[in-house]
Amino acid sequence: MKKEKGIDLILTNDITADLGDIISRKSYLISSLYEFAKLFEKIKYPEIYFETIKQTINHIKKLYEFNEGIFLNYNKEDESLYIKGEEIAYKMYESIPFESDEILEFAKKSLTITFKILNNKIEGKILKKLISTIIYIPISYQKECFGFLYLESEKVLNINSDDISILSIIASQMAFALKNSQLLEQIESNFLETINSLVSAIEVKDTYTKGHSSRVAKYCVNFAFFINLPTDQIKSLEIASLLHDIGKIGIPYELLNKKETLSPIDINFIKKHPEMGAHILEPLEFLAKERKIILHHHERFDGNGYPNKIKGKDIPFESRILSLADSLDAMATDRPYRKALDFKSIILEFKRCSGTQFDPELTEQFIDFLEKNQQIIRRDYED
């Protein structure tokens, strides 16, 4: 027996071993929270939403022995729960309804972490394996419920009050990140609305290009998905393509709508619009990348374009895509000097100008994209 400050300490080998286990487990749990917070810092917008969910589930799986986990989105209107799938096309999600069970109902009402060890194994909802433990973790921020994390394990897991505290901290971090992503999305949509009103201002002046910018943006974005570009690049391309002709605001109405053949002076003036556009956007530092894409959207692969006559891969990648989508819409619509081209002629024209006006590698992929989406694209030009 050891006497220390008046307290009798009885130390046996078993107790020290248990204490050692408990202390190392607790320090592991606490250090994992630090690691988790660090991981969260690395997630950048626009991937916050899916990345946050993925990282949270992976972290919980790493801490405990859950086989699999999913996030159930909560729909406030009809109080239903559903699983939101991956982005399968531009702004399209596959939603699968999720049926409530009695444990989930309890979690929904109480908004508390609810877990259950099953007396008899049942088939899991995710992996279709026989499972023994289920847990629902509500993800809510200031009484706003985003949904639930649902995890299942084949094993009987021993989850105590310390674990519940750790899971609560993880859940609140996840809720905070989702709230942030919602706010950023709101800012972005306000910004895009402002851009759209600017685009309308251009199109009011130029009657021949009504709907041009939004169609070009649609083709750019869909093509970007088609060739698997990363999300941040797709976003830049979307903004740049919507704004690519913003410089036309500086071109007189009479000139933009002139029915007679344009004089070389007229042409040179119109050719100023990429620079004018870049100039308009100059004060908006956060659009620096998009500004560059706009500035070079009329460069040609062979170096005979404008304004800087740069060639090949020196032309920003996104500008080379924008040039293809811009030309598609120009060819598919009536212009003062010619009628719209049919689909076959458009493809032939892209083939003819591959390597001179357009990037040959991208042109090949763009033709493939056009052929595969022919029906949908054609509908844009009907009536």
CA 108 to chain CA centroid, nearest Å: 28
Question: Residue for token digits 């419920």?
Answer: 145
CA 267 to chain CA centroid, nearest Å: 39
Of 103-111, 237-245, 317-325, 343-351, which segment contacts Fe ion by CB under 5 A?
237-245
CB 60 within 8 A of CB 66: yes
- Min separation Cβ 233 and Fe ion, Å: 20
Size of the site for Fe ion (CB under 5 A): 1
DSSP 110-134: H-S-EEEEEEEEEE-SSS-SEEEEE
- Which CB, 176 or 269, lies closer to Fe ion? 269
Closest C-alpha to 278, from 308, 235, 320: 308
Within a 10 A sphere around the Cβ of 3, how many other Cβ atoms? 8
- Min separation Cβ 209 and Fe ion, Å: 9
- Which CB, 68 or 266, lies closer to Fe ion? 266
- Which CB, 245 or 299, lies closer to Fe ion? 245
Cβ neighbours of residue 363 closer than 8 Å, sequence gap 6 or more: 324, 350, 351, 353, 354, 355
Residue nearest to Fe ion (CB): 245
- Min separation Cβ 139 and Fe ion, Å: 45
- Which CB, 163 or 245, lies closer to Fe ion? 245
Of 55-63, 101-109, 238-246, 317-325, which segment contacts Fe ion by CB under 5 A?
238-246
DSSP bridge pairs for 334: none
- Which CB, 152 or 245, lies closer to Fe ion? 245
- Which CB, 171 or 256, lies closer to Fe ion? 256
- Min separation Cβ 275 and Fe ion, Å: 11
- Min separation Cβ 311 and Fe ion, Å: 18
SS3 305: coil
Within a 10 A sphere around the Cβ of 127, how many other Cβ atoms? 12
Q: Please, is 262 exposed, middle or buried when counting C-beta atoms within 10 Å of its C-beta (0-12, 13-18, 19+)? A: middle
Q: How far apart are CA 350 and CA 358, in angstroms?
A: 8
φ, ψ for residue 296, nearest 5 deg: -105, 15
DSSP bridge pairs for 335: 338
- Which CB, 43 or 280, lies closer to Fe ion? 280
CB 294 within 8 A of CB 278: yes
- Min separation Cβ 326 and Fe ion, Å: 6
- Min separation Cβ 338 and Fe ion, Å: 17
Binding mask 242-281 for Fe ion (x = CB under 5 A): ---x------------------------------------
DSSP bridge pairs for 9: 2
CB 172 within 8 A of CB 179: no
Within a 10 A sphere around the Cβ of 73, how many other Cβ atoms? 18
- Which CB, 147 or 247, lies closer to Fe ion? 247
- Min separation Cβ 247 and Fe ion, Å: 8
Cβ neighbours of residue 203 closer than 8 Å, sequence gap 6 or more: 209, 210, 211, 212, 213
- Which CB, 163 or 326, lies closer to Fe ion? 326
Length of the chain: 383
Binding mask 207-226 for Fe ion (x = CB under 5 A): --------------------
- Min separation Cβ 191 and Fe ion, Å: 22
- Min separation Cβ 106 and Fe ion, Å: 59
Binding mask 77-116 for Fe ion (x = CB under 5 A): ----------------------------------------
- Which CB, 245 or 359, lies closer to Fe ion? 245
What is the binding site for Fe ion (CB under 5 A)? Answer: 245
